[in-house]
A and B are shown apart, each in its own frame.
Chain A
Amino acid sequence: MPSVTLDSVVAVHPRVSIRPEPFGALLYHFSTRQLSFLKDRMLLEVVRACDGTRTLGEALGTTGVPAAQTARYLRAVETLVASRMLESASAGTAPRRTAPDSATISTEAVA
């Protein structure tokens, strides 16, 4: 796993659904079936700021993460990259689609 730094550019994977909760958020990855819980709202805002156009450092700054908490949020982002909720992106990534598009099963006659 490549390590994540403040210079990394990451984006939410297009197959991830983000569901805000009072305590933070639930993230579900439709391809991996992985479920992740974000345990605070600030982390949710950091994740939302990860749109593939800015570095992590910029995302933490925009969100207002205190300097003393930087390492903690960086570790959280690393965890999300490891589970593929977030993925490395080059700047200018296309906007993400959230609808899973599946090959339909019923289109052909089924015995």
Chain B
Amino acid sequence: MTLVAPTPTATTTTAAPPTPHRTSSTLLGHFERGLDAPICLTWELTYACNLSCSHCLSSSGRRDPRELTTEECKGIIDELQRMQVFYVNIGGGEPTVRSDFWELVDYATAHQVGVKFSTNGVKITPEVAQRLAASDYVDVQISLDGATAEVNDAVRGPGSYDLAMRAMQNLADAGFRGFKISVVCTRENIPQLDDFKAIADRFQAQLRLTRLRPSGRGADVWDDLHPLPHQQRELYDWLVANGEGVLTGDSFFHLSAFGEALPGLNLCGAGRVVCLIDPIGDVYACPFAIHDEFLAGSIREPGGFEGVWRHSELFQKLREPTGGGACGSCAFYDSCRGGCMAAKFFTGLPLDGPDPECVRGFGEQLLAERATDALPKPTADHSHRTSPPRPRGSAGPVPLTLSIRRPDAQPAHACAESPLAGFTPTAVTACACGGH
């Protein structure tokens, strides 16, 4: 595949950026080859959630009956302690809806595993906020995707902005400084970056801006919500000018080709320094890649989590050096590393080519050329049962088969076991074919 430079898109001019830290190639080499244990990881505790955000990367809503037990969770924490995994980012779904949530958080911090948990704020009452403020080793992250209810609730549902604001007020009132406010950057909220910063400052919280990936339900809304090219530039410029103290989860290493790399390792950590443990104990390369293609194994296997981390075929493959593939000849490959594996996978692009949001525009070309009728879908979908999602990759109608039930037939009971349930034989008189 030959990459041809497309017509340049309009870019804003920018003042000379400050010179931020850049990880040495010495260290990058070690991380790309993978470590004997993750440095930190994401742990989704449950697929249950009180909300149904349109871009949910884990397609959460309904609890999975195979969810890990409290004892299994403690077993994982014991392993993480032994492996010296320093920090775990607990999420879901909405992790606080698990009845053993606080017990597990306490168990982790008592066993040398630092905790940050992501929440929509539903359980952050003033009492809970007080206890959190008194703990030294628990970080809290409130999800917010709009600086106004209008923008936020369009993605996260009615009332979700108020829920988040109330939680943040409770944390601030309890004296909890430095909790995180985590924003998924979209076409609709990039104009609100200054407003997000103002909200964070108001609550003495730390702003975190992250990338929208086409993962989970995100695939359904990505075409409409992902930042436009000029907005990516706006975001990059904003981070360079205002990003001191703003976290990014290293989400934007694909924007490095704009200029100086943003702070962070600036490489894909999946399977090398981080991974995901999901609510049923499956281990994936990262939370943005919940799909069989990136499933490394299960903590329920005999080797436990450590066995999967060290010996799974998938992780060993991810730790092998790759060339740049089609991106190898690009002058910016060294800084962008070909972008996000999950973003490429779920938009149907080849993993050894450009990111769909490649700042040079090579991804846009490929997106225009790809077939959109067979994009990868996760095998499991824990979404609340609502109307079917819009088809991905097109704005066309959802194909439906309409059938008309015979007016005199009784509908079979949903729990009926007999295969003949609902079948009412009619009396045979003469058969029309005349053969018997």
Contact = CB atoms under 8 A, between A and B. Distances in A.
A107 B103 CA distance: 9
Contact of B84 (A17, A33, A102, A110): A17
A100 B84 contact: no
A103 B35 contact: no
A68 to B, nearest CB: 20
Contact of A110 (B37, B110, B128): B128
Contact of B106 (A22, A31, A102): A102
A73 interface: no
Given A105-B105, A106-B102, A106-B106, A100 B136 contact: yes
B70 to A, nearest CB: 12
B138 A110 contact: no
B246 to A, nearest CB: 15
B232 to A, nearest CB: 28
Q: Name the interface size band of chain A.
A: 20 to 34
A41 interface: no
B30 interface: yes
Contacts of A35: 39, 86
Contact of A31 (B37, B39, B84, B136): B136
Given A26-B39, A39-B27, A106-B102, A100 B112 contact: yes
Contacts of B27: 23, 37, 39
A30 B114 contact: yes
Interface string B127-150: 110011011111100000000000
Contacts of A23: 26-27, 30
Interface string A54-94: 00000000000000000000000000000000000000000
A88 B307 CA distance: 40
Residue of A28, A31, A105, A108 most packed against chain B (CB within 10 A)? A105
Interface of B is mostly: mixed
A102 B35 contact: no
Contact of A21 (B35, B128, B135): B35
Question: How big is the B interface, by class?
Answer: 20 to 34
Given A101-B110, A102-B106, A111-B127, A21 B138 contact: no
Given A35-B39, A98-B112, A102-B106, A30 B137 contact: yes
B87 interface: yes
A104 interface: yes
Contacts of B87: 28, 33
Contacts of A96: none
Residues of A contacting B: mostly: loop
A48 interface: no
B102 A110 contact: yes
Interface string B389-413: 0000000000000000000000000
B125 A111 contact: yes
Nearest to A99: B112
A28 B134 CA distance: 21
A52 B103 CA distance: 36
A102 to B, nearest CB: 4
B109 interface: yes
Nearest to B137: A102
Given A31-B136, A33-B114, A98-B112, A108 B131 contact: yes
Contacts of A103: 131, 134-136
A28 B86 contact: yes
Contacts of B112: 17, 30, 98-100
A14 to B, nearest CB: 12
Contacts of A37: 27
B139 A33 contact: yes
Contacts of A111: 125, 127-128
A108 B24 CA distance: 47
B84 A19 contact: yes
Contacts of B30: 21-23
Nearest to A40: B26
6 contacts: A17-B84, A21-B36, A33-B139, A35-B39, A105-B131, A105-B138
Interface of B: 24, 26-27, 30, 35-37, 39, 84, 86-87, 102-103, 105-106, 109-112, 114, 125, 127-128, 131-132, 134-139
Given A17-B84, A39-B26, A98-B112, 18 more contacts: A17-B112, A21-B35, A23-B26, A28-B114, A30-B112, A30-B114, A30-B137, A31-B136, A33-B114, A99-B112, A100-B136, A101-B110, A102-B135, A103-B136, A105-B106, A106-B102, A106-B103, A110-B131
Interface of A: 17, 19, 21-23, 26, 28, 30-31, 33, 35, 37, 39, 98-108, 110-111
